[in-house]
Chain A
Amino acid sequence: MQNELTVRISGEAGQGMQTIGSALCKVFKKAGYHIFANQDYMSRIRGGNNFFQIRVGERPFYTLREKPDITVALDKASITLGPENFLFNVPIYDMAKKTGGGEIFVNSVACGVILGVMKIDFSFLSEVLREAFSDKGEEIIKKNIDCAGEGFNFASQNCPPDIPVCGGIKLKGTGGERLLMNGNEALALGAIRAGCKFYSAYPMTPSTGIMNTIAEYAKDFNIVVEQAEDEIAAVNMIIGASFAGIRSMTGTSGGGFCLMVEGLSLAGMTETPIVVADAQRPAPATGFPTRTEQADLEFLLHAGHGEFARAVFSPGSIEEAFYLVIKAFNLAEKYQIPVLIMTDQHLADSYRDIEMLDYDKVKIQRYIISRSAGSYKRYQFTETGISPRAIPGRIEDVIYADSDEHTEEGHITEDAEIRKKMVEKRFYKKMLGLSQEVEKPTVYNAKDADIILLGFGSTYGVMKEVCESVNTKKLGFIHLSQVWPLPIAHLVELFEESKKLITVENNAGAQLARLIMGETGVKIDRSILKYDGRPFNLDYLTREVLKEAEYAETRGFQEQ
């Protein structure tokens, strides 16, 4: 009996893969299973080929498998049969028309079929359908449940018994509520919790979901969500809003981030806190609008003309995305800097079932003064480089902020000495402070391992599962959820002479390797790079890593 199964729902855009997939995720979760779901879609609204893939099983998953065990083909093109495949023909459109009275019910039929094949209790599906159509009235609910039942019965009666199924094995006592959420939703909810009151963005895949989610709850939390006319407007609006005292954020992808670059520089110069999320996708230019990549690392580290302090987070999981965005706001306001959050389409769109989020864990800290000893100077020189920050209209004095080089009072100056001190303030001193409170990397078996995988962002899940599943003590991983400042001391401590260091990255330039080598002086031996627009999966990375392990076993760490 297998303890996991991967189901892929595949078809043309518009056929309902997302509807079916989302419903099934809820069903599997209700049934007590753990899931990891990812979406593969094209940049179009109808036609082409998209799929929604769900990995279901008894233990928590953090990544996907290379090949599905069950493919639900909603169109002919999705039927790709190999010698070991079995084709199970199901007349879902006929069933939808017969039992429901229209093709619109075909998604419910399909859900029923899948449950029948997997031999999962139908009651979970009827519950989910009831909830999904709760606002459509009893008649619609019944029709959907009946159609699902048709599919379920057909599959139960006609599917050959030797096909691998999960087989009704329930998890033992998970206890508490588990949440089903994707990376975009986690960022949005974290931002709401963090007290973000202004989110302005231009729709750009795969970041749009962040804005959708915040917009959904905006009224309840007095948040202004404003679609900007362009990304330049977005970043400048959030800077103006932050200057006037509210936490504000924008999100985009690489191409939109390009347009925000001068704004980053403005935030750095005026010392205005902002949070900017870059949900990466394959580039350059328009690239693959709906796919995944991690090639903006070097860009995010250096974007913005001139030199100023910044922090860059790279959450590895949905939970991390939630907590780190809250930290991002705190850090942005503490140091009065732009804080960037790197995600990618894979993290943005993947679902996992997670524990209820402990949002009390990260305290909200604003670092704002309402009274000044003496006349207020927005850019007062201090030991730490951080000037006390007041909000216009909420302090007696007036406040001057300027994108030109400025005096402590905020007026324009050309003075060389003041310039020198301001650069030191904005760059050296703030970076020093930031480097003393970096997120520790997540470390697994680095001490005992001979081979250490290194990654940032969404490769956390696949590295974790490879290391946990490959039967050797010689493998470990280090994951960076903050890439700037780099946690140099932590890393150097883990890098011993005898270990082979391999970065795992979704880019062609081995950008993480270059960053680590540049900052620590330690040589990265190799990089496993994937830049085809698709995420790493467990099978692919396991193969690549085992190749390395083989070399390690037979010939130490010399290249052949």
Chain B
Amino acid sequence: MLKPEDFKSSDEIAWCPGCGDFGILNSVKKALVKLDRPPRDILLVSGIGQAAKLPHYVKANCFNGLHGRAIPAAVGAKIANRNLVVMVTTGDGDCYGEGGNHFIHNIRRNIDITVVVHNNQIYGLTKGQASPTTDPGFVTKFQPGGVILDPLHPLELAIVLGCGFVARGYSADTEHLSSLILEGIRHKGFSLVDVLQPCVTFNKKNTYEWYSKRIYKVNEDKSYNPEDRVMAIEKTHEWGDKIPIGIIYREEKKSYEERYGLNKIPPLVDEKVEDIDIKEILRGYA
């Protein structure tokens, strides 16, 4: 049985005091403890942003890559070693903006990774620009007249694309969030956990107070069926006085590994490559 100390990293945390990322970090660690796989089997992949620092604060394998490109790097790693538990910790800008194309197409691939998005509706590390999920009218230095673009709806987008596990958490409710993350890891295929997260320094609108008035757990309502796609899409439109969190949609579908046949062979990383015999194929060119 693993303990929280097993996932403790020595790296000093660089987030602002009160940052929602702390809640996400604790939730990730709780989930990993429950998962009970040793640190060497876990790979946390991130892009760039405050969210992307999380892997350094966990004792696990870490690949902190380029802005927007965490998902492709994670996918490549998962293909190389399907026995690794691969989790992406990314932000709303990193995942839905810079990395939007990879978000879309990897839901199509349905590869078995868990994407945890630190959705604080702002760009924190670069000091306060709007992100794809920023509420309209929100004023920033880049958008002094207020944001005029319609926001991107990540949950709805994911469901429409066919994502088999779409969940939303809240960084201040770590028990709930860690269970979502664990469910996401256990789900076979691409799992999205979009985490509402206050940015205490740059987002003075979507604060802890703002969220706590609105958030409710959708799975506590027994009449809510997360396998009903139409109901789920409707649910994602709730963003005002009430904001649902929990598993919004889930569907079992064949993962990339199953479709490609990777689950039938040992992890590619264990293939012997020192003496591959290509004599027969070369003869085919004679």
Which residues of A approach B to under 8 Å, CB–CB?
177-181, 185, 189, 192-195, 197-198, 200, 217, 219-222, 224, 226, 228-230, 232-234, 236-248, 262-263, 266, 270, 356-357, 359, 364, 366, 391-404, 410-412
Whether A193 contacts B286 in the complex (CB less than 8 A), given A226-B79, A237-B73, A398-B59, comes out as no
Q: Which residue of B lies closest to A400 (CB)?
A: B62
Which single member of B81, B276, B283 contacts A192 (CB below 8 Å)? B276
| Chain A: minimal CB distance from B111 (Å) | 10
Which single member of B48, B56, B261, B282 contacts A189 (CB below 8 Å)? B282
Which single member of A180, A366, A398 contacts B273 (CB below 8 Å)? A366
| Chain B: minimal CB distance from A236 (Å) | 4
Whether A195 contacts B282 in the complex (CB less than 8 A), given A237-B76, A270-B63, A399-B62, comes out as no
Whether A398 contacts B39 in the complex (CB less than 8 A), given A192-B276, A193-B276, comes out as yes
| Chain A: minimal CB distance from B48 (Å) | 7
- Which one of B21-29, B64-72, B239-247 is at the A interface? B64-72
* Those 6 A-B pairs whose CB atoms lie nearest each other, nearest first: A195-B273, A240-B76, A240-B73, A241-B76, A244-B80, A236-B72
- Pairs A–B under 8 Å by Cβ, sample size 13: A179-B282, A221-B276, A224-B79, A229-B105, A240-B45, A241-B79, A244-B80, A246-B79, A392-B61, A398-B42, A398-B61, A401-B62, A411-B11
Q: Which residue of A lies closest to B266 (CB)?
A: A222
Docked CA distance A392–B73 (Å) = 14
Q: Which residue of B lies closest to A243 (CB)?
A: B63
Residues of A within 8 A of B66 (CB): 236, 262-263, 266, 403
Q: Which residue of B lies closest to A180 (CB)?
A: B285
| Chain A: minimal CB distance from B210 (Å) | 31
Which residues of B approach A to under 8 Å, CB–CB?
11, 14, 39-43, 45, 48, 53, 55-56, 59-66, 69, 72-81, 83-84, 101-102, 104-105, 260-262, 265, 268-269, 271, 273-276, 278, 281-283, 285-286
Q: Are A238 and B76 in contact (CB under 8 A)?
A: yes
| Chain A: minimal CB distance from B99 (Å) | 9
Whether A178 contacts B286 in the complex (CB less than 8 A), given A262-B66, A398-B39, comes out as yes
Residues of A within 8 A of B285 (CB): 179-181, 185
Residues of A within 8 A of B14 (CB): 412
Q: Are B40 and A395 in contact (CB under 8 A)?
A: yes
Q: Are B81 and A222 in contact (CB under 8 A)?
A: no
Whether A197 contacts B268 in the complex (CB less than 8 A), given A180-B285, A189-B278, A247-B273, comes out as yes
Q: Are B101 and A233 in contact (CB under 8 A)?
A: yes
Q: Which residue of B lies closest to A395 (CB)?
A: B40
Whether A240 contacts B282 in the complex (CB less than 8 A), given A222-B271, A401-B62, comes out as no
Q: Are B40 and A248 in contact (CB under 8 A)?
A: no
Docked CA distance A219–B60 (Å) = 32
